[in-house]
Structure 1
Amino acid sequence: MTEFGGPEALRLVDVPREPLGPGQVRVRVTAAAVNPTDTYARNGTYAQRDPVKEFPYVPGMDVAGVLAEIGDGADTDIHAGEHVMGIVVPTGAHGGYREDIVLPAGSIARVPDGVGDAAAATLPMNGLTARLALDRMALQPGQVLAVTGAAGAFGGYVVQLAKSEGLTVVADAKAEDEQLVRDLGADVVVRRGEDVADRIREQFPDGVDGLADGSVQDAAVLPAVKDGGAVATVRGYRGDGQRGLRVSPVMVRDYAEEHAKLDRLREQVEKGEITLRVAQTLPAAQAAEAHRRLEAGGVRGRLVLTF
């Protein structure tokens, strides 16, 4: 994008090739996932919190493609020519929507066996955010976790990761998404909405042990959690300081170079513990259309741009 604005602010441009430094790798990108955070960067929502210092600004936090080059001292056992997926922390022209990108070696992992690049590109950012949320809450097997926005990418990964770790999961869904959320592994499904905390309490009168708020309802969902429980939020909300709740805003950049975490997600995909969902692929030149579809709502799985 060369300015803030609607989807039409996205246009194809040529940018200089990034230099490859020590400890870095170059990836020839074949697929880049489209996430809500990309649309907020494009329309200027994040401009005050994280000012854009230069245009063109390239959004995108997930890529997959071919490892093209390895810099001096890069700590990786992946070889040039292998297919990899990676997480990108966008800065200026350094964002996922580009066909050639340089990343820290710790930001990539092999693409899961049997998985194409488009599907692999849907995993790094949301998968690592889900992993970080669960790590921050530090719940134990047998405890109860509530997940809002469970049909979304982040929420879906939280449900599946939580189930793989022995947690009981109560999740929200619209009527048309209820079967999807059950298929992801939720033990109990309640109808989503402004009163979701009440619906969760109907099922668990003492409150849940933890809550991952993928629907970004912030204070509205806190009543679902028992005193002293844990909450993970994704847009910086820090809680109201009441009832001893441990509210942790999760920022995926904290895990952006945690290769072992990303590689573990790869293993879980291969074991069938995590499901990758692609809604549709579009050529990179149709990035504006991808943003329009995402902002219109109702997309399940991720739209993916292909190069």
Structure 2
Amino acid sequence: MRAVVVRSFGGPEALEIADVPVPQAGPGQVRIRVEAAGVNPVDLATRAGVLAGFGLMSAREVQGIGWDVAGVVEETGPGVDAFTPGERVIGISDRLDVSLAGYAEQVVLDADAVAPAPSGATPAEAATIPLNGLTAVQALDLADLREGQTLLVTGAAGGLGGYAVELAAARGLRVVAVAGPQDEEPVRKLGAEFFVPRGAEPAEAVRALVPGGVDGAIDAAVLGLPALAAVRGGGSFVAVIGGAAPVPLRGIRVVNVWVRADGTQLAELSRLVGEGRLTPRVAATLPLTEAAAAHERLAAGGLRGRLVLRP
């Protein structure tokens, strides 16, 4: 079967289409025939060797790549009774040190990293859910805000930010969204009560809307200190990239979200999408063989939603 691997860190040209053996599901695992694989910023960092440089993964002779998958169960290993062959599912490959990951025709995942696919969604739409949806849920849990409190979401038009806005609004939070000026209408449709155009001084703009500052922030755009300045003293701030958390000034509780596979949370996200209460957004789909082009497009910026590879 075909898979995209990295043998030497570098630019998009480091992505190699390789013929590899079909993996077999072991105890507690599920083998999935991949119909769609999401392309995320972490994939670019993996390919370029950034994560290895920070000690988040070790150098391997062959490095798999890709976190998000949507597809069909081909095989279940011993001890798995929650899924059956032929069932449509979504899943997340959250381990970095693997030789085969989501950019592949088939992949093996632990059963607790898999959930039923959302009804009515295309495979491409379903493939946008796992990494960004789970990161948004887990970031909201870390922010630990109560109904009626205010939350700043930077990068609100992106894959992660959009899910964070919609899920926060569903929890009864009052969302202040930061995004490009052209994104105000779609971001408000996701549930943002307040809008700040990207490029404005975030602290001053946010505090003009929420005197004293917001109760918490999810910094999907990795603004760092400028976003922290918009949070009230004693509030909470969630960073989404390792090493990007600002100093916890003014007693603000600053934490990093380190996303983890969670089949229960993933199933709930899938249910929300199936009910039309959570909005997956696909920027474009490309064949698996054009993974390098997908990385180039993502690096260029300006996308709304996720690029998706189709084996």
Normalised by the length of structure 1, the TM-score is 0.95
Query: How far apart, CA to CA, are the structure 1 residues paired with 2:285 and 2:87?
Result: 22
Structure 1: tracts of 5 or more residues without a match: none
How far is the alpha carbon of 1:16 from its aligned partner?
3.1
Post-superposition CA distance 1:224-251 (Å, at most 9, x none): 1111101111112343132111111001
Question: Which stretch of the first structure deviates more once superposed, 282-291 or 196-205?
Answer: 196-205
- In the alignment, which residue of structure 2 is the partner of 1:25? 30
1:54-78 per-position Cα deviation (integer Å, ceiling 9, x unaligned): 132121110010011111112x422
Please give the per-residue CA displacement for 1:258-301, whole angstroms capped at 9, x wherever unaligned.
Answer: 21100010111122221011111111000011111111111111
Aligned to 2:3: none
Secondary structure at the counterpart of residue 104 of structure 2: coil
Matched residue of 1:139: which SS?
Answer: coil
Query: Aligned residue for 1:290?
Result: 294
CA contact under 8 A between 1:57 and 1:94: conserved in structure 2?
yes
Report the AA paired with residue 265 of structure 2. K
1:304 aligns to what SS in structure 2? strand
2:278 aligned counterpart, secondary structure: coil
- Match of 1:251? 258
Distance 2:268 2:251 in 1: 32
Alpha-carbon separation, structure 1, partners of 2:20 and 2:281:
30
- Aligned partners of 1:85 and 1:120 also within 8 Å: yes
In structure 2, what residue type is equivalent to 1:243?
Answer: R
The gaps in structure 2 that reach 5 residues or longer are 1-5
Greater shift, 10-19 or 149-158, is seen at 10-19
After TM superposition, list the pairs within 5 Å mapping 1:39-58 onto structure 2: 39-49=44-54, 50-58=56-64
User: Do 1:34 and 1:304's aligned partners in 2 also have CA atoms closer than 8 Å?
Assistant: yes
For residue 127 of structure 2, what is the aligned residue in structure 1?
121
Structure-2-length-normalised TM-score: 0.94
CA distance in 2, matches of 1:52, 1:9: 17
Matched, 1:269 2:273: yes
Supply the AA of the counterpart residue of 2:28: G
1:194 Cα deviation from its structure 2 partner: 6.4
241-250 vs 44-53, which deviates more? 44-53
Secondary structure at 1:30 match in 2: strand
Mapped pair 1:109 → 2:112: no
Equivalent-residue separation in structure 2 for 1:96 and 1:45 (angstroms): 19
State how many pairs are aligned: 303
Q: Deviation of residue 158 (structure 1)?
A: 0.5
Q: Which amino acid aligns with 2:51?
A: Y
1:217 aligns with 2:223: yes
Per-residue CA shift, 1:71-118, capped at 9, x if unaligned? 1112x4222101100011232312110111111101011111111111
1:18 Cα offset (Å): 2.7
1:24-103 aligned at under 5 Å gives the runs 24-49=29-54, 50-74=56-80, 76-89=81-94, 90-103=96-109
Contact 1:279–1:302, Cα closer than 8 Å, also in 2:
yes
Is the contact made by 2:136 and 2:160 (CA closer than 8 Å) also made in structure 1? Answer: yes
